Amino acid sequence: MAKINFGGVEEQVITREEFTMARAKEVLKNEVIAVIGYGIQGPAQALNFRDNNFNVIVGQRQDSTSWQKAINDKWQPNINLFSIEEAVAKATIVCYLLSDAAQIAIWPKISSKLTAGKTLCFSHGFGITYDAKTGIVPSKDINVVLVAPKGSGTSVRRNFLEGRGINSSYAVYQDATGNAHDIVCALGVGMGSGYLFETTFEKEVTSDLVGERGALMGAIAGIMEAQYNILRQNGHSPSEAFNETVEEATQSLIPLIAENGMDWMFANCSTTAQRGALDWSKKFKKAVEPVFAELYNSVKTGAEAERSITANSQSDYREKLQVELDQIKNSEFWQAGAQVRKLRPERNKK
């Protein structure tokens, strides 16, 4: 492992230079990897494994749009595309990439096919961490590991095609064969991870649920909408309000922060922006830290997991969810965004 200093805190990470693709292929040379689910993470991971020449098959419900999506990606029925149960039976490594709700529903149908010596790999710690609620309790004679890319399936695939890797966390929950650590590292490298950092199933799901509800989606959506609304209430046009709230952030500043860091951004903006950002960042931090503390506690106690499982188990949940999503889509804020995106110069290049 490579020792990396993160702002004074030393961590050990696994890079592709030390755990090479050649080593990954040697570890997995006799394995059949089944990617179960072809929705969010499934396509990216399966295609990356295939492009890296691993022995990979896909398991998906045949009466689903995702089955056709897999066929469109050149997976062939009865050759490397099978029903979920058949793929699990054929595989030695099962990447269980269904949604949390689907994992709960399908588990009774596949658990008996996870025979001794196989490896069950997750990309999210939900099912194992909240096993009392999910019922996902693997037998002790299989490996249970985790490789969790720190990005959406779209980002996992896009980074891979661009020759870069998205960072992933990894964990070993059960090591039945004695080589689960090598297997999980090989899977991480094979699916295109940039580097791997160690975690546990519980820490992964806790940080992930906090992140999704916080800075990655929930908090940023709330903060952006709040700023947009204040600008509109004070007479600014939708175009101006959206550009100052979202477009400048996503198209200019966030890519630069990703490339160079927030310290660089503060040092390379106007003195007016610099002074204001330094002063107001402290106010925002003070305002939102109590909300993040409340959020963390809700995740840690299992309340968020309980809410998610309860909601997804309702027969009309999809319909209710669509109503909420349509409210966002049809709001002036995001309708303004749709118009602004159409005006980006690259959209008009022909």
- Residue 137 falls in which region: left (phi positive, over 0), alpha (psi -120 to 50) or beta: beta
Which residues fall within 8 angstroms of residue 52, CB to CB, at 6 or more apart? 21, 25, 190, 192
Residue 220: phi, psi to the nearest 5? -65, -35
Residue 348 DSSP one-character state: G
Strand partners, 81: 58, 77
Strand partners, 148: 169
**CA max distance for the chain:** 67
Of the residues 50, 118, 124, 157, only one is catalytic, namely: 124
Angle between helices 218-233 and 271-300 (to 10 degrees): 130
End-to-end C-alpha distance for the chain, whole angstroms: 48
Active site residue 236: no
Q: Which two tokens stand for residue 118?
A: 């196989």
Q: Which helix (H) or strand (E) holds 57?
A: strand 56-59
Q: How far apart are CA 282 and CA 278, in angstroms?
A: 7
Of the candidates 222, 116, 137, 120, the residue with the CA atom closest to the CA atom of residue 172: 120
SS3 readout for 81-145: EECHHHHHHHCCEEEECCCHHHHHHHHHHHHHHCCCCCEEEECCCHHHHCHHHHCCCCCCCCEEE
Q: How far apart are CA 179 and CA 27, in angstroms?
A: 9
Catalytic residues: 124
